[in-house]
Chain A
């Protein structure tokens, strides 16, 4: 394992991040707009509602947590696609860089960018809607965050593995996969709101437990730790499987000459 090589990949993407307007938008702009739209919507609903329960808090909590999962997956896949768009995959994979180093660099980079995105969202939510994310969720935040990050990474690595083997035809999945997961993750509604067949799917999604517990904290201030452990356990299984799948697909891509063709 070489720290210098991991560092090389992190810095390489940082250069693009600082320079590219669309990457800036992905980290700051779109999440901020998402927050604005949902903030206005929930504020309106709050005014029309007779309930004392804070719809704004409920929705904005969901938006912030959802953006964490979304960005974790999307950044992972887009950085990989960036190498293919630049015809640079061959340079990267013919260098001494190991797959493990590549994946570690992607995860560290992801964490750095997420700190920026989460800070932007939480500060904006506080300034615009007086929603204090940190006091609302308190010391539960790291436990909720880690579970969302893990599923985002697993999904990102899984998509990258598919891209390696099947190429451009699946590149749309880099953006679409989270929207397939979203309805079953129960971001804005409880699991019981889903049809029975969809509830069964949501039970195997670690993110659904996180959003259920997020709502539990908002409603009662309590958390069911078993659900978070379950989410964490499922996440570990998915992460290990996605990494193994990536290695397998990398090997298959080398066997079929697809790695060169993706470039």
Chain B
């Protein structure tokens, strides 16, 4: 069952001249996608791709120029209150009132989402996120790692059916980011939530998301599983270490066959298509160039990201 369905969504912003409107800037360009129940969908793309604008539209903060948004089977604009009660949101660029304690902030949002027995639920969440000892501390006094967990508590306060997370780990150190990802995965499984997730951290997207939509200049340019997108990159990176006495000969061989490579010390990093790895190694063998060490890096989502971004520049 589809929890969220977006059809032909377009958002244009006017670009103003000194006095009058000069032109339109298209932030989201006729995109359509769906999220199935229980799915974690990743939104990927460079800065300005249209990820945050799409999320703002899904939250009702920005009005679309064109298109249809159906959430929980209901048109969004006509059922805003009903839909938002079952959704929630967290983003790195959104804070909570800093002069309120954690408990007061969470109580406020629990009341806004009309959560029953909210005091108990707030305590449960704080315990799960291991920040119960901070409940009476002012929001202003918390570290960014602690805040990230508080924001997630706020986002989970109403046990949302659809959770939108816009770069929730962007300002966190790797350890806290990893912990946060584990929390998200655990809660998503427990509550059977559907999640729309944006991040610039490719490893994070690969770890969390069932499916990825790649946006660039407001358009969807690819949609697949994280590994499916990575497989669209046919080049592998092979790192070979040779004895110092052989580097000259290796360079001649690689130049003769027009391979792309980088040399660092006695390490060669060669880019070649996956099916041609055997041929490359055969050439070394024929030339009696024995390597001391070999590493083959398969393409990742990051390679796909970089390829697409560079091609579209």
Interface size of A by CB at 8 A reads 34
Determine if A96 and B154 form an interchain contact, defined as CB atoms under 8 angstroms apart: no
Given A16-B100, A82-B97, A96:B112 Cβ within 8 A: yes
Q: A95 near B95 (CB under 8 angstroms)?
A: no
Q: Which of A1-9, A134-142, A185-193, A208-216 contacts B (4 or more CB under 8 A)?
A: A1-9
Chain A residues near B53 (CB-CB < 8 A): 257
Interface size on B, residues (CB 8 A): 38
Contact among A11, A20, A90, A98 with B81 in the assembled complex (CB-CB below 8 Å): A98
* B62 and A259 contacting across the interface, CB-CB below 8 Å: yes
Let me know if B60 and A12 touch, CB within 8 A.
Answer: no
B109 / chain A contacts, CB cutoff of 8 Å: 8, 91, 95
Verify A91–B13 contact, CB threshold 8 A.
no
Which residues of chain B are within 8 angstroms of A20 by Cβ–Cβ distance? Answer: 99
Whose C-beta in chain B lies nearest to the C-beta of A263?
Answer: B94
- The listed residue (B11, B59, B114) touching A90 by CB distance below 8 A is B59
Report the Cα distance A98→B84, complex, angstroms.
11
- A254, B63: Cβ atoms closer than 8 Å: yes
Contact A97 B93 (CB under 8 A): no
Is B193 at the interface (CB under 8 A from chain A)? no
Q: How far apart are A4's CB and chain B's nearest CB, in angstroms?
A: 5
The contact string, 1 if C-beta is below 8 Å from chain A, for chain B 232-254, is 00000000000000000000000
A86 touches B113 (CB 8 A): no
Determine whether A41 belongs to the interface, using a CB cutoff of 8 Å to chain B. no
Q: Is the CB of B61 within 8 A of A260?
A: yes
Is B171 close to A, CB under 8 A? no
Q: Is the CB of B98 within 8 A of A86?
A: yes
A16–B14 alpha-carbon span in the complex (Å): 38
Contact flag A96-B100 (CB < 8 Å), given A8-B108, A91-B94: no
How far is B105's CA from A15's CA once the two chains are assembled, in angstroms? 10
List chain A residues, Cβ under 8 A from B60.
Answer: 93-94, 254
Instruction: Judge whether A256 is part of the interface by a CB distance below 8 angstroms.
Output: yes
* B95 lies within 8 A of A19 (CB): no
Is B262 close to A, CB under 8 A?
no
B172 interface residue, CB < 8 Å from A? no
User: Is A88 an interface residue, CB under 8 A from the partner?
Assistant: yes
CB distance from A258 to the nearest CB of B (A): 9
B85, CB-defined interface residue at 8 Å: yes
For residue B134, CB closer than 8 A to chain A, the reply is no
| Minimal Cβ-Cβ distance residue in A for B110 | A8
The CA-CA distance from A106 to B150 in the complex, in Å, is 26
Known: A11-B111, A16-B100, A257-B56. 11 other contacts (CB 8 A): A4-B114, A5-B111, A8-B108, A86-B96, A86-B98, A87-B94, A90-B61, A91-B154, A94-B87, A96-B85, A256-B14
| 10 tightest A-B CB contacts, nearest first | A8-B111, A94-B59, A87-B95, A254-B63, A95-B112, A96-B84, A12-B108, A86-B97, A96-B85, A96-B81
A-B contact pairs, 23 of them (CB 8 A): A5-B112, A8-B111, A11-B108, A12-B100, A15-B99, A15-B101, A20-B99, A86-B98, A87-B94, A88-B95, A90-B89, A90-B94, A91-B109, A91-B154, A93-B60, A94-B61, A96-B81, A96-B84, A96-B85, A254-B60, A257-B62, A260-B52, A260-B56
